[in-house]
Amino acid sequence: MAQPATSVNPDIAFLEGIDARVSRMEKGTYGNQPITYRMSADDEALTENEMERILSLMNGDDYVISPQNMNMGFRAGIVVATAEAQAPGLPLDSRWLLSFTDKQFPASYTWEQVADVYMGPRNLELLAQIGAEAPDPRKSRYDY
């Protein structure tokens, strides 16, 4: 008997597709221990349409957006993750879908515009539910 086809969420496919283009995993050492870490491909910027669609998905019930320190401490960046329960009634969990740095924003977007989205009431509520730290709207908090 054939297995039923699994449906692919087009928004998740979109976010993960961008992530594959704008970031990569690298291996290195930290304190003489091997580590794997995410680095942005700064020569790969988001397009206006991509950024518009990413931000349009936020402050609903499915995704969270949060600022992060990226590139081993050298860039302020953004992470987009799922906000989903594994089963009805269970606490929300998250899965990293996309990360990009401020250097990859389209030229017409500022940190403040993106902060307005991640500081939205529904996003803050979902971040708390997945156990994430409350974000700060200031870029300087994530740019060392």
Domain chopping of the chain, boundaries: 10-133
- Euclidean distance between CA atoms 82 and 89, whole angstroms: 17
Render pLDDT for 105-133 as a digit per residue (tens, 0 to 9): 999 999 999 999 999 999 999 999 888 99
Render pLDDT for 33-80 as a digit per residue (tens, 0 to 9): 888 777 788 789 999 999 999 999 998 888 999 999 987 678 899 999
- Euclidean distance between CA atoms 98 and 120, whole angstroms: 19
Q: Output the pTM of the full model.
A: 0.84
Residues 56, 62, 63, 64: what is their CA dihedral angle, to the nearest 10 degrees? 110
